[in-house]
Amino acid sequence: MTHRATAETGGPDDGTGPGDGSAGGRAPVRRPAPETSRTGLSTAEVAERVARGEVNDVPVRSSRSTAEIVRANVLTRFNAIIGVLFAIILVIGPIQDGLFGFVIVANTGIGIVQELRAKKTLDRLAVIGEARPTVRRDGAAVEIPTGEVVLDDVIEVGSGDKIIVDGEALEADGLEIDESLLTGEADPVLKKPGDPVMSGSFVVAGSGAFTATKVGREAYAARLAEEASRFTLVHSELRTGISRILKYVTWMMVPTALGLILSHLLTLRLPIDEAIRRMVAGIVPMIPEGLVLLTSVAFAIGVIRLGRKQCLVQELPAIEGLARVDVVCLDKTGTLTEGGMDVRELRPLPGTEEAHVRRVLAALAAGDPRPNASLQAIVDAFPATDTAWRTAAFLPFSSARKYSGGVLTAPDGAPATWLLGAPDVLLPSGDRHLAEIDALNAQGLRVLLLAATDRDLEDPEVARQVRPTALVVLEQRLRPDAADTLRYFADQGVQAKVISGDNAVSVGAVAATLGLPGADAPVDARELPADPAAMATALDSGSVFGRVTPGQKRDMVTALQSGGHNVAMTGDGVNDVLALKDADIGVAMGAGSEATRAVAQIVLLDNSFATLPSVVAEGRRVIGNITRVATLFLTKTVYSVLLAILVACWQIPYPYLPRHLTLLSTLTIGVPAFFLALAPNSERARPHFVRRVMRYAIPSGLITGTAAFATYLLARSYYTGPDALPAETSAATLTLFLAALWVLAIIARPYTWWRVALVLVMALGFLVVLVTPWLQRFFDLRLVGTTMPWAAVAVAAVAAVLLEVTWRWVGRRFPA
C-alpha cells in the first residue's frame, strides 16, 4: 500500500532525511518544550502599542512609488534638453517645428503608463508572496501580516522561517539561525533563551519563539527591505550600454550645437529665428530619446506578462539576466519533483519485527513539530497511536549531517537512541545492506535507514557503529512539466545541472527518467576536488551531483562562474539560500522557505518549474528586440552627427527643419520601434550589446547621411532662386526617408506578414504626406519637377545597395 503525504511548504528539504536545514557540524539535542508556554500579548496590549505607533509598519515596496515613476520618466537629462529646445521653438515658431516636443510627451506618457501597470502587477504579486509570521495573541498562535507585528509580540519560528524583526530568544528547541546574509559568517549560530536574534537572518534547524524588541524602521530588517525588496535597477548590460551611448551623445551635442548656430549666424548670416530652427533640427535627431523609454516599456510589459503566469520578478533586469544564463543549477526536491512524498515500502531488516519498527517510526516522527516532506510521509503512513511511547530528546535534521535522531522511551521505560537518515552516511563503506539500497536508488527511490545506537544522542560519534533496523522506501512525485522544461533548456543551449543533497544514484535515476543528458553518470559530491579550477572542470563534464552540502552548493556556483558561465540557481529550501545569493540569478519557489524568497530575484509563486522557459523567453524578447530598435535609433544619431559636420565644413544651411526630421523619425523609427520592441523574439541572448549595435549603426548612419547630403548638394546645384531651399530640402528629405526606410526593412528581418505590412504602412504614410496639399504645407515638403525627385530616388537606391552589401559584410567580418 502506498501512503500519500504532502509537505506544508512544498518540500524544502534537499537532503535524505526527515527535515531541513543547512547547519553544519553538531546540532544541539532538542528537549521537549515545557508544558507551560507564554501566552503572548492580549488584544488590549496590542491596541495600546498600535496607538503608540509601535508597529512593524514598514511598507512592502516591490516597486517604485507612483511619484518616483513619474519623476524617473519625466526628469531625465534628455527630456530637459528636448524641453529647452521645444520651448525655444514655441517662442520663435512655427508650431509644426515643435512636433518633436509632443512626441517626447507621448513617449514619456507611454513609459509612465506601462510602468504603472507593472507596478500594479508587482504590488499584487508581492502581497500574494508575502510571508505571514505566527504570533501568540491571547494565548493562541495566529498568522498575521508582517505589518501587523507590534513591539513585544511573541513570534514563533521554525526551520526555513525568516526573522522579520529584531528580538530576543524566548524559547529555543535546538534553534539554529543562519546570519550569513548579515555577517558573512556561513556557520549557523545556536540560540539560547535570552540571546538576541537579528532581522534578516533565518532559521536553519530547530524551532522556538522570540520577543520582538525592535519593529518598524528601527529593525534591521527594515533597512534590508528598503534596499532588497523594492524595484531596483541592478546590473543590466542593456541599461549600462545605453547609458554609455547616451553619455557619448551628450558630449557630441554641445560642440555640434555651437558649430551650427555660429555657422548659420556668422557665415551664412541667416535670420536668428531661421538659424535657431536649423540648429534645433540638427540637434534633436542626435538624441535617441525613445530608446531609454522603450527599454523600460519592454521590461515593464515583461513583468506584466510574467505576472499573469504567477511569476514575481523582484528586480526587473532579472528578466534579462536569466535570458543570458548558460547554466541552470536545479535542486531536485521541489524543482524536478513535487514536495509531497509517499512511503512506498517498509523493509524491516532480519531480526526485527515490523510492528516494533512501525511504533519506533511513529514516535520518532511525532517528535518533530515541523515535519517536512520526508518525515510528513512517515507521519501519515505511521500515525502515533501508542501514547505509551514518547520522545525524551530530539536531534534536528541537518543537510550537512544527513540524519536526525531521538531518544525514545518505550512502555517498559527503557530509553533507546534511534537515528533516521541517509544509509550511505550511517553505514560504513562496504556494508552488506548498501547493495540493496543502491538497487533501490537506481530506480529513483529515496531510502532512509532506521538504526539504533548505544551512544548518547549528544555524542559527536553517535552515527558510528549503528545497528541497522529497517529501510523506509520513499517515492517522489515527479513534476509533470519537468521533462518538457529540461528539453527546452537543452534545445536553447543551456546546460542543466542537478545539484542535490540526495544520494547521487537516486538523483541520477530521477533525472534520467526526465531525459536529462548525462544523467546516467551521476557524481557523488563528496568525491569532488576542493580546488575551484578542478571543481569547475568536473562540473563541466557532469550533469547530476548528489550528496551536495549547502556549502558545496555555493562553491559549485562560484566554480561555474569562474569558468565564465552565467549561472542561475533554483531552490526552495534554506539549504539553497547561500547558493541562490551568489548565483547570477536566483529563482525561488513560492511555497519554499521565506529565506529563499528573500534573496531570489525571481519567485515562482505557483511553484511551477515550467514557468522558467517563459522567463527566458521574455528576457530574449527584450534583449533581441531592444538590440534591433537600438540600431534604428543610433543610425539616426550617426547620420545626424555626420550631416551637422558636413554642413559646417561646406558652410551651407542645414538642409532640414525640425518638422522634417520629426516626420522621418516617427515613420522610420518611432512607430516601427514600438511594434518591433514588443514582438516575439527567441534569438539567444548574446553579450557586448554596445559593440553589436554600433557595428551596424555606424556604417548604416554613414551611408544614409552621405546619401542625403549628396542629394542636397545635387539639389543646390539644380535649383536656383530665392525659393530654392524648400525644394532642396524636399529632395534631401526624400532620399533620407528612403534610405532610412531601407534600414528599417533590414532590421525587420526575418520577415513575417505583419513586419512587411509595417514597412509598407510607413512608406504609405510618407506618400500620403507628399500627395496631400495641406500636409505638404504643414511639413513644408514640396517636390518640384521630376528630374530632381527621381535623382533623389536613384541616390537612395544606391544607398540601399550599399546598405545591403555593408550589412552582409559586417555580419561576416564581425560575427556576434
Q: What are phi and psi of 588, to 5 degrees?
A: -115, 150
- Distances from the Cα of 493 to the Cα of 334, 652, 698, angstroms: 24, 55, 31
Grid cell listed for 33: 518544550
Q: What is the rounded distance in angstroms from the CA atom of residue 518 to the CA atom of residue 496?
A: 10
Are the beta carbons of 447 and 440 closer than 8 angstroms?
A: yes
Are the beta carbons of 736 and 781 closer than 8 angstroms?
A: no
Pairing of strands 189-190, 523-524: unpaired
Beta bridge partners of 156: 134, 209
- Distances from the Cα of 679 to the Cα of 615, 617, 673, 754, angstroms: 15, 11, 10, 10
> What is the DSSP track for 244-301?
HHHHHHHHHHHHHHHHHHHIIIIIS---HHHHHHHHHHHHGGG--HHHHHHHHHHHHH
Q: What is the rounded distance in angstroms from the CA atom of residue 567 to the CA atom of residue 329?
A: 7
Q: What is the rounded distance in angstroms from the CA atom of residue 509 to the CA atom of residue 521?
A: 10
Are the beta carbons of 672 and 740 closer than 8 angstroms?
A: no
Q: What is the rounded distance in angstroms from the CA atom of residue 209 to the CA atom of residue 212?
A: 10
Pairing of strands 446-453, 415-421: antiparallel
Q: Which of 14, 166, 173, 331 is catalytic?
A: 331
The enclosing H or E element of 183 equals helix 180-183
CB atoms under 10 Å from CB of 709, counted, come to: 23
**Longest alpha-carbon distance in the chain:** 120
CB atoms under 10 Å from CB of 153, counted, come to: 27
Q: Is the dihedral of CA 346, 352, 355, 360 positive or negative?
A: negative
Q: What is the rounded distance in angstroms from the CA atom of residue 466 to the CA atom of residue 464?
A: 6
The angle subtended at Cα 10 by Cα 7 and Cα 12, nearest 5°, is 95
DSSP state of 222: H
On the CB side of 451, CA atoms within 13 Å amount to 28
In the block, cell 538504526 appears at: 451
The enclosing H or E element of 391 equals strand 390-395
Q: What is the rounded distance in angstroms from the CA atom of residue 605 to the CA atom of residue 599?
A: 15
Are the beta carbons of 636 and 258 closer than 8 angstroms?
A: no
Residues 6+ apart with CB under 8 A from 720: none
Helix (H, G, I), strand (E, B) or coil at 405: strand
Q: What is the rounded distance in angstroms from the CA atom of residue 794 to the CA atom of residue 775?
A: 25
Q: Is the dihedral of CA 37, 40, 42, 45 positive or negative?
A: positive
Pairing of strands 585-589, 602-604: parallel
331 is catalytic: yes
In the block, cell 515643435 appears at: 98
Q: What is the rounded distance in angstroms from the CA atom of residue 58 to the CA atom of residue 50?
A: 13
| Strand residues in 185-237 grouped as ranges (E) | 189-190, 196-197, 202-214
Grid cell listed for 96: 509644426
Grid cell listed for 486: 529540461
Provide the residue count of the chain: 816
Give catalytic residue positions. 331
